[in-house]
Amino acid sequence: MEMSAWTDSDQAMMQAALAEARLAAEEGEVPVGAIVIVSGRIVGRGHNRSIVAHDPSAHAEIVALREAGQLQENHRLVDATMFVTLEPCTMCVGALVQARIARLVFGAYDDKAGALGSAIDLSAERLLNHRFEVNGGLLADDCSQLLSDFFETQRLATASN
């Protein structure tokens, strides 16, 4: 569900997630960034690291959840909000369910792999044992542009080789 009245805090948090996404791009990773917030403070940061870590599960969301869990000394993040620049995939939605996250805010929609309404909607799946608030579209243009620029650069590099 899309929100029309984003708070200043929501926008600032998505900017922090975008900063993480830019770090991913600098490392040659797909530029997706995520942060986890508890009581208004960042307790976990992550950006895609699948390539550099040789780890198919090292998506931004998973990296941020791991850091937050360590800092909170708990695998459950019941009062947490995650901000991520791209609609999560099925693996990441599964991790959010396991973490018992309270709210997820994402930027760009992902028609190919988005699991919260675009390709599939796991938030509507009644068999899952946890549900969380989902808000999509925050700074969607900025998040989409970062991805578009990255893939355009990749295509140009491939074409020139």
34 vs 124: CA distance, rounded Å: 23
94 vs 18: CA distance, rounded Å: 22
Cβ pair 50, 71 in contact under 8 A? no
Cβ pair 128, 93 in contact under 8 A? no
3-state secondary structure of 118: coil
**At residue 69, what is the residue type?**
G
Cα torsion 20, 105, 121, 52 to 10°: value is 10
Catalytic residue among 20, 61, 67, 87: 61
Cα-based angle 21, 13, 96 (whole degrees, multiple of 5): 75
Residue 40: both structure tokens together: 């208004």
27 catalytic per annotation: no
> Residue 21, Cα to own-chain centre: how many angstroms?
9
> Which residues participate in catalysis according to the annotation?
61
